[in-house]
Chain A
């Protein structure tokens, strides 16, 4: 069973279509990245999936519960770090956590135990009785994450959780997400940060103008956008360019300094050919790099192609 199953969801605000026929499935236990430029429909989609706003049409089931007809049952089992959310700044961190604990129906003892554990893990325990308005942005965001985790959710939605944070807070949050995922928590991560998505997510979806334009593993998306692959290679002795050009699968050869850049339609064929070439010519390979586009490149290309 998928943790999230969205089917043809659509949401309009006046004449603007924010989410247009989006369907996606998020498997249990995976970290799923949801990427898109500003105004692409990421936050609206997340709000629909978390039952905060209803879709105009389509359906979504989260952890097996229909988000329109059984939103409370679904919400009870997942946690949310909303994009624009804040903690209550006139309450202490402890009071914020105890309030959320009560809203999830936790007993006082369990809420207190979880609050202590989470505050300790996130480095906030010593300042638990301080009002939140005195917290830095990073501390607030760590507290908001703790608030989303107090009931030990099976699924966590995060909308730009590390946006604008210092390195220490970012690393702490990302490490915690990895740890939670190792323990089985499914994570739905909305982010602008390609590097973060590339390092963290098992699969990503890219949304543009309210429509999904790609859903796959980051590595596959990166390579899929480039139909011609580039391979950079260098040997411990001089080799002839013509010999490289004649290798199976190679469509072009360019000399760049002491290296050769080969172009190919199938990079695995060329890599195998290079290995044979190296053996037969006693020319040891010094470097071998596949120059696939970065996720940033893929994202820019995909979103540019999909723009109206």
Chain B
């Protein structure tokens, strides 16, 4: 057996993911910031923006839910593990840092997908038709990977205090919500706002979800997928490279 072989490392990454699922899904902070926060945020806008139709707001809810849930765990795992002395245990095993990062991303991605599916069903229950199911599935999968990679990127600074990456994560997530066409249609954004929206992966995901539900979209669907795909690759490669560099400083 060659422990450095890709199938072996993928198998070990899955072991890390299973461990994360057991340990972190039921953490209070994950449930509060990953599930309750987007729900209350959406309700606040829903109550205060009665002129916006449900067909516009519900795709936004799906977008916010995926952003919050897929980044609920990933920023803090390294800090939690460093703090409890389990990171050194993990690193002393024949597992590449990239595989550890991938395992954490898988757990984070699955958490995001699981909760987001519920919001999709809520939208369907509220009589919003799903016109493009495959687009919806593909976009949720891709964006969940992208957002969990962003979460992992936020945990790159080598601190073993979990509140630090969580705070950093909120500093980034909230502005993303306001520039990504969640509560304000992209068509109504000023040119500088649109330029900012172009930089947010959430913009492309929300555009795809809106297309899946209503058939309307701001960017070409293929462009949404391409940009999300490229961003996912860049964030994933970036987080793996940076974690490999900063890991010794955590131990």
Contacts and interface: CB of A to CB of B under 8 A. Distances in A.
Q: Does B associate with A?
A: yes
Interface of A: 47, 50-54, 71-73, 75-76, 80, 82, 84-91, 95, 99-100, 102-105, 144, 147
A191 to B, nearest CB: 18
Contact of A75 (B3, B16, B22, B85): B3
B15 interface: yes
Contact of B19 (A53, A84, A85, A99): A99
The 8 closest A-B pairs by CB, nearest first: A102-B15, A86-B85, A75-B94, A80-B92, A103-B93, A53-B248, A76-B94, A85-B89
Given A100-B93, A103-B93, A105-B94, A82 B15 contact: no
B248 A85 contact: no
Nearest to B92: A80
Contacts of A52: 88, 91-92, 248, 251
Contacts of B127: none
A195 to B, nearest CB: 27
Nearest to A82: B88
Interface SS of B by simple majority: helix
A86 B84 contact: yes
Contacts of A90: 22-23
Given A47-B251, A88-B86, A103-B15, A82 B92 contact: yes
B92 A75 contact: yes
A72 B251 contact: no
A25 to B, nearest CB: 22
B26 to A, nearest CB: 9
Contacts of A53: 248, 251
A52 B93 CA distance: 9
Contact of A85 (B4, B15, B18, B92): B92
B8 interface: yes
Nearest to B99: A103
Contact of B93 (A73, A87, A91, A104): A104
Interface string B1-39: 111100010011001101100110000000000000000
Interface of B: 1-4, 8, 11-12, 15-16, 18-19, 22-23, 84-86, 88-96, 248, 251
Given A86-B84, A89-B84, A100-B93, 11 more contacts: A51-B92, A72-B4, A72-B95, A73-B3, A75-B93, A87-B89, A88-B23, A95-B22, A100-B89, A103-B12, A105-B3
A102 B12 contact: yes
A140 to B, nearest CB: 10
A194 B130 CA distance: 72
16 contacts: A53-B251, A73-B94, A75-B92, A76-B3, A76-B94, A84-B88, A85-B85, A88-B84, A89-B84, A91-B19, A99-B15, A100-B89, A102-B12, A102-B15, A103-B15, A105-B11
A308 B105 CA distance: 48
Contacts of A85: 85-86, 88-89, 92
A72 B93 CA distance: 8
Contacts of B4: 72-73
A103 B95 contact: yes
Contacts of A84: 85, 88
A266 B18 CA distance: 64
A194 to B, nearest CB: 26
A57 to B, nearest CB: 15
A161 to B, nearest CB: 14
Given A72-B96, A86-B85, A91 B23 contact: yes
A255 B12 CA distance: 69
Contacts of B23: 88, 90-91
B4 to A, nearest CB: 5
A54 B248 contact: yes
Contacts of A88: 19, 23, 84, 86
Contacts of A47: 251
Contacts of B85: 82, 84-86
Nearest to B23: A90
Contacts of A82: 85, 88-89, 92
A32 B90 CA distance: 24
A72 B15 contact: no
B15 A87 contact: no
Contacts of B1: 76, 105
Contacts of B248: 52-54
Nearest to A13: B249
- Report which residue of A51, A73, A90, A105 has the largest number of chain B beta carbons within 10 angstroms of its beta carbon: A105
Nearest to B9: A72
- Report which residue of A72, A91, A104 has the largest number of chain B beta carbons within 10 angstroms of its beta carbon: A72
B78 to A, nearest CB: 15
Contact of B86 (A51, A73, A87, A102): A87
B202 to A, nearest CB: 32
